[in-house]
Amino acid sequence: MKATVLTIFPEMFPGLLGHSLAGKALEAGKWTLDVVNIRDYAFDKHRTVDDVPFGGGAGMVMKADVLDKALEETYGKSSVKGPLIYFSPRGKTLTQEKARQLAKEEEITLLCGHFEGIDERVFELWPIEQISIGDYILSGGETAAMVLLDAVVRLLPETIGNEESLAEESFENGLLEYPQYTRPAEYKGLKVPEVLVSGHHRKIKEWCLAQSETVTKQRRPDLYEAYLKHKEEKGNL
């Protein structure tokens, strides 16, 4: 997968993405990261990318002409033209399902906003999909781009050492993950659940599912409702 990030802070990348799983995958060439400095497409010698908002109000707005030029020279020149994403609190919230979809793409382009955001006309000029990473305000789209890329890159084929660990993760079967334990079997008088050391595979599986259901019901009733509905629909087929 080729990821292109358009930002006014190119030095922030790869940042977190240069470490751990994403970093190893980057080194191994499982994905490539192209970081584009939006300022390179400014029209004046001060390399201005923002201006005051029409109608007044606080803050600055990123200029349509500069962003249009930056997109023309990057996304516009790609023969693949994969998803073009702008990060915004007004976007659809990122989910594991969305990350899975994006992991199948050959190319993704990510536009990071700053200040108060970008001139609305950019959305009319380009087929932009807006994505939010949650109901809170960040100071820029760069951290959101890192969150999205981290979630997507670990789903690329042969990226995670153990594919099974993906299948059992939170959200993958509509449930949150069950509690996990590792050695020692007893620590400060706290023992791991009997069943896990029993070696009885079917019972372990049942225990994990029951725990997943309980945790999901308690912590995310919204997910649990959807899970029950899905289960019912499957049972009726």
How far is the C-alpha of 43 from the C-alpha of 152, rounded, in Å? 34
Which residue in the set 37, 78, 96, 132 belongs to the binding site for ligand SAH (CB under 6 A)? 132
Q: Does 144 bind ligand SAH (CB under 6 A)?
A: yes
Token reading at 57 = 């109000």
Q: How many residues bind ligand SAH (CB under 6 A)?
A: 19
Which residue in the set 141, 151, 175, 216 belongs to the binding site for ligand SAH (CB under 6 A)? 141
CB contact at 8 A, 169 and 177: yes
7-15, 111-119, 158-166, 206-214 -> range binding ligand SAH (CB under 6 A): 111-119
CA 203 to each of CA 139, 206, 210: distance values in angstroms, whole numbers, following the listed order? 48, 5, 10
Token reading at 128 = 């932009």
Q: Does 88 bind ligand SAH (CB under 6 A)?
A: yes
DSSP string, 86-152: EEEEEEEEP-HHHHHHHHT-SEEEEE--BTT-B-THHHHHS-EEEEESSSS--SBHHHHHHHHHHHH
To which residue do tokens 């970093």 refer? Answer: 23
Q: What are phi and psi of 154, to 5 degrees?
A: -70, -10
What type of residue is 162?
N
3-class SS of residue 57? coil
Q: Does 38 bind ligand SAH (CB under 6 A)?
A: no
Taking the complex as a whole, the smallest distance from the CB of residue 227 to ligand SAH amounts, in Å, to 26
Token reading at 174 = 């509509």
Taking the complex as a whole, the smallest distance from the CB of residue 215 to ligand SAH amounts, in Å, to 26
Q: Does 134 bind ligand SAH (CB under 6 A)?
A: yes
Which residue in the set 58, 137, 190, 237 belongs to the binding site for ligand SAH (CB under 6 A)? 137
Q: Does 117 bind ligand SAH (CB under 6 A)?
A: yes
Which residue in the set 8, 17, 82, 114 belongs to the binding site for ligand SAH (CB under 6 A)? 114
Q: Does 60 bind ligand SAH (CB under 6 A)?
A: no
Q: Does 89 bind ligand SAH (CB under 6 A)?
A: yes
Nearer to ligand SAH, 139 or 236 (CB): 139
Q: Does 121 bind ligand SAH (CB under 6 A)?
A: no
Query: Which residues lie near ligand SAH (CB under 6 A)?
Result: 87-90, 112-114, 116-117, 132-134, 136-141, 144
